[in-house]
């Protein structure tokens, strides 16, 4: 079976270093907030060019910390995409705020800036909710259109919380790296991510000293900066595990080269699938980290069956758009409200994607797809 994401191959390249770092943690006995956590935060911040990085227990908690630090809650409207993983929306709703969806661009699959501004203006005119923030998602490793989103946010007085849980290290046309494009930016170190650990993990990034201080407090039960038993606000138990920090430190050594290798893999897919099935467009000036490689086809089920017969795994992201999920029924959206996202969700599928995928394997995958869609 061809691996969907080849973590064992990567592990063999860094095995000695990973074990050395983990043994160092075990020898130190500092399993919670050990020195590796601070070391990693410094290196992650430097990599993306952010002033502050704070690691945490998951990408979901990273989003929650960001929203809590910004004071987002009941009566607030938070604008986001309907084509994402549920955590983007769930964390908004859990704080009592209202997710407001704007449809996606049919080629990049990221939130459409035109539809986004229409949604903002509509909510402003209705006057029932207070527009508070935009949450762009850097889907499949591609930065959203921040050249348009950031000026829009400024014009309407909104925060931008960047959901870069799939896009650590991606580059936007402005030259900045994700996750460092929002008021607060969030990422995940789930094992399948371009930069992952061997469990759950995440991080928040910001250039704002006050927001960093709030998130530092929220990270551990709303602690005071001076006394851990003086809880000054409601918070979370969201600390990043020291062993996992050791793992990411080791993986970070490989990461720049892996981003380059992902470009080669993606280009081989693009050449092999040109004229066969459409794939996500990468606008000029962007460098995607290709967390997933997702073509579209109305024959996706037949393609998946044909690939499965050849021991090639596939997946689907995300077959039910957020506005149609059972948990979001209370918002009142109906099928047809987000036609582009709904169309994309109906026929998108994912192919094996990792830095070590060989050209011959990609050629075989593309050949099977081409034969199936004839």
The residue extents of the domains of the chain are 7-102+109-250, 255-372
Q: Please state which of the four CATH numbers 3.40.50.300, 1.25.10.10, 3.10.450.50, 3.90.1150.10 is assigned to the domain occupying 255-372.
A: 3.90.1150.10
The token pair at 120 is 């903002």
The answer to whether residues 196 and 243 touch, using CB atoms and an 8 Å cutoff, is no
- Residue 88 CA to residue 59 CA, distance in Å, equals 9
So what's the pLDDT on residue 1?
Answer: 83
Strand extents, DSSP E, the chain: 52-56, 76-80, 98-101, 130-135, 159-163, 184-188, 202-206
- Nearest residue to 84 (alpha-carbon basis) of 292, 282, 371: 292
So what's the pLDDT on residue 227?
Answer: 87
CATH 3.40.640.10 is right for the domain spanning 7-102+109-250: yes
- Residue 139 CA to residue 164 CA, distance in Å, equals 8
Mean pLDDT by 10 residues, the chain (374 residues): 95 98 97 97 98 98 98 98 98 98 98 98 98 98 98 98 98 98 98 98 98 98 91 97 98 98 98 98 98 98 98 97 98 98 98 98 98 96
So what's the pLDDT on residue 249?
Answer: 98
């Amino acid at each position: 079976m061809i691996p969907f994401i080849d973590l064992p191959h990567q592990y063999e390249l860094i095995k000695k270093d990973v074990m050395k770092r983990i043994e160092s943690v075990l020898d130190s006995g500092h399993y919670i907030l050990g020195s590796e956590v601070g070391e990693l935060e410094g290196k992650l911040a430097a990599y993306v060019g952010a002033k502050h990085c704070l690691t945490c227990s998951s990408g979901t908690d990273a989003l929650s910390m960001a929203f809590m630090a910004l004071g987002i809650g009941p009566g607030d409207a938070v604008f986001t995409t309907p084509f994402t993983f549920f955590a983007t929306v769930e964390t908004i709703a859990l704080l009592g705020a209202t997710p407001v969806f704007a449809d996606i661009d049919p080629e990049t699959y990221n939130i459409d800036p035109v539809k986004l501004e229409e949604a903002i203006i509509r909510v402003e005119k209705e006057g029932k909710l207070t527009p508070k923030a935009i949450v762009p998602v850097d889907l499949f490793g591609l930065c959203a259109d921040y050249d348009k989103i950031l000026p829009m946010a400024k014009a309407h007085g909104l925060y931008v919380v960047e959901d870069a849980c799939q896009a650590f290290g991606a580059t936007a046309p402005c030259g900045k790296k994700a996750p460092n494009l929002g008021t607060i930016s969030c990422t995940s170190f789930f094992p399948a991510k371009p930069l992952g650990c061997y469990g759950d993990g995440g991080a928040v990034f910001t250039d704002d000293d006050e927001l960093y201080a709030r998130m530092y407090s929220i990270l551990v039960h709303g602690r005071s900066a001076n006394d851990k038993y003086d809880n000054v606000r409601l918070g979370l138990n969201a600390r990043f595990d020291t062993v996992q920090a050791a793992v990411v430190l080791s993986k970070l050594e490989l990461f720049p080269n892996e981003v380059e290798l992902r470009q080669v893999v993606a280009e081989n897919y693009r050449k092999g699938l040109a004229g066969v099935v459409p794939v996500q467009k990468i606008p000029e000036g962007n460098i995607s980290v290709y967390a997933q490689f997702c073509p579209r086809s109305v024959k996706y089920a037949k393609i998946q069956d044909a690939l499965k017969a050849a021991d090639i795994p596939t997946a689907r992201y995300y077959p039910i758009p957020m506005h149609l999920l059972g948990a979001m029924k209370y918002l009142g959206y109906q099928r047809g409200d987000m036609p582009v996202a709904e169309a994309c969700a109906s026929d998108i599928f994912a192919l094996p994607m990792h830095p070590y995928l060989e050209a011959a394997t990609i050629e075989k995958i593309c050949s099977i797809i081409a034969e199936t869609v004839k």
